[in-house]
Amino acid sequence: MKGKIRHSWLTELLFEHEVLTAGQDAYRRPGGEITPATQQYDRAELLGSYQSSEPPRTFAAYRIILSQLFDAKRQRLFDLLAAEPVMRSATTEWSPRSSVTNANIARVLVPFVVKALEQSYEFNAPPVEFAPAAGFLGTYDSRHHKITLSPQLFGSSCKEFLDTLIHEEIHALQGELLALLNVQRRGRILTPVERAIAQYWKNEEPKYRSALAAGSQMSPDTKRRYLLIGQEFHAWTTGHFVASKLTGRS
């Protein structure tokens, strides 16, 4: 789920996890470079082709494996969307001063983004509806397999709209991989690296659920630590990367 900052939340206890210390050592910014803190771990695990199905032991190792699995797919998503004439028109015509125009652009844009996500990540991307999203800018409903985006986004930037849409679709992708941990569907079997990533997310689920239950708003410092939760780091960095490059905004 993705929302704007309004007030601080989330108790310190939520983040008392061994991943936090290792993650802070290696953390600079989402999508940024890995610091030398990663060097204390086995280089065969962190670099090159990850073959084990065991989950990474640290947040630093998680980032390396996440990059191995998803960076090329993320780049393909950008390439597909950047090649769409409708995307170029949307980023030019979108204006935070015209919510009605933006709403029309958004409804035209969504099918192209969903299709590009399905091609890039090879998963069943959920449909999107626009409605109040329980205080969030966007939510993914795994039970009904749908994404809800707040109409609030029509008054925001094109970057934030795309960022939120892609962010929630990545949560849907994560849900699909998690479901495949224990159930083989339609002949789909997780690769070792997919299983390692999905198991890492599974291990973090109690912490992740606590974060979602606590609310949608957070202070900047709490948000930084919130991004050390694996699923949120993945969704945030993907949305930010693609939306920033498409709109030319950081």
Per-residue pLDDT of the chain (250 residues), as tens digits, is 665 433 332 333 233 333 333 333 332 333 333 333 333 334 444 444 555 678 999 999 999 999 999 999 999 999 999 999 999 999 999 998 899 999 999 999 999 999 999 999 999 999 999 998 777 889 999 899 999 999 999 999 999 999 999 999 999 999 999 999 887 666 678 899 999 999 999 999 877 666 665 555 566 766 777 788 999 999 999 999 999 999 986 5
Q: What is the pLDDT of residue 45?
A: 44
Residue type, 35: T
DSSP secondary structure letters along 42-70: -HHHHSS-----SPPSSHHHHHHHHHHHH
Q: What are phi and psi of 133, to 5 degrees?
A: -115, 50
**Residue 129 forms beta bridges with which residues?**
148
Rounded to an integer, what distance in angstroms lies between the CA atom of residue 26 and that of residue 218? 22
Q: What is the pLDDT of residue 236?
A: 93
Q: Which two tokens stand for residue 16?
A: 């008392």
DSSP 3-state of 171: helix
CA neighbor of 199 nearest in space, from 50, 48, 36: 50
Q: What is the pLDDT of residue 166?
A: 97
CA neighbor of 235 nearest in space, from 72, 75, 74: 74
Q: What is the pLDDT of residue 46?
A: 42
Could you list the beta-strand ranges (E) of the chain: 128-130, 138-141, 146-149
Contact of 188 with 170, CB cutoff 8 Å: no
Contact of 3 with 137, CB cutoff 8 Å: yes
**Long-range contacts of residues 26-34, Cβ cutoff 8 Å, at least 24 apart:** 26/58, 26/59, 26/60, 26/63, 27/59, 27/224, 27/228, 30/227, 30/233, 30/236, 30/237, 30/240, 31/237, 31/240, 31/241, 34/60, 34/63, 34/64
Q: What is the pLDDT of residue 19?
A: 33
